[in-house]
A and B are shown apart, each in its own frame.
Chain A
């Protein structure tokens, strides 16, 4: 069946290093993707989005890359900080305009 999934459930990085979180999707009709960050005890927060007509989008310290050929999405965080420790979800907008979320990757930043 169709799914939005993440390659790794956990990721640990040293403070100051770059982090890369990956996400695979299987619905080729999806045209909009979002990365969310969820800190402990809080709801998901919007980080960055990308539309299917783009390959790359940059924000502040974050970059999202979209490879439609292999249906892969990645989130790159530059100079990772302790405050970046959280669970990161990719979300895929499918037909019907609902977002479907992956299971999440837990990022731990080691000081």
Chain B
């Protein structure tokens, strides 16, 4: 157990729908990062939050959004889902939000299947 908790583990939904993925960071970590991993693809950085505020954006679609709550858990909202959104979505956390001198701790991921 890495200490980063993601729910649900699996999610199957239809095109056009909206889903919410949840992440609880490791205790003491202030930053949360969201990554998308498609089949045969590397980990694509989506977005980072630090202590409740958006810190950086990567290749995140406009249909996707995220937030980090006062208790530091984070949610990734995916809307108007398309078949191509089927992927593993990972959350990672770290202590720092600025000069990140250490690696991230990853959760086990949420597998999203859009049918």
Contacts and interface: CB of A to CB of B under 8 A. Distances in A.
A83 interface: no
Contacts of A98: 33, 45, 48, 56, 58, 100
A25 interface: no
Interface string B92-108: 10001111111111111
A99 B108 contact: no
Interface string B1-39: 010100000000000000000000000000001010000
Report which residue of A34, A42, A93, A97 has the largest number of chain B beta carbons within 10 angstroms of its beta carbon.
A97
Interface stretch (A13-21, A44-52, A59-67, A68-76): A44-52
B104 A45 contact: no
Contacts of A96: 56
A93 B100 contact: yes
Contacts of A89: 42-43
A44 B58 contact: no
Interface residues of B, number: 29
Interface of B: 2, 4, 33, 35, 40-45, 48, 56, 58, 90, 92, 96-109
Contact of A43 (B90, B102, B103): B90
Given A97-B56, A103-B41, A41 B108 contact: yes
Interface string A85-110: 00001010100111111111000000
A97 B107 CA distance: 20
A48 B104 CA distance: 12
Contacts of B103: 34, 36, 46, 49, 91, 99
A97 B55 CA distance: 10
A51 B48 CA distance: 22
A97 B99 contact: yes
B42 A43 contact: no
When A and B form their complex, which 9 residue pairs have the shortest distance between CB atoms, in order from nearest?
A43-B106, A101-B43, A103-B42, A97-B100, A101-B42, A34-B103, A46-B103, A44-B106, A43-B108
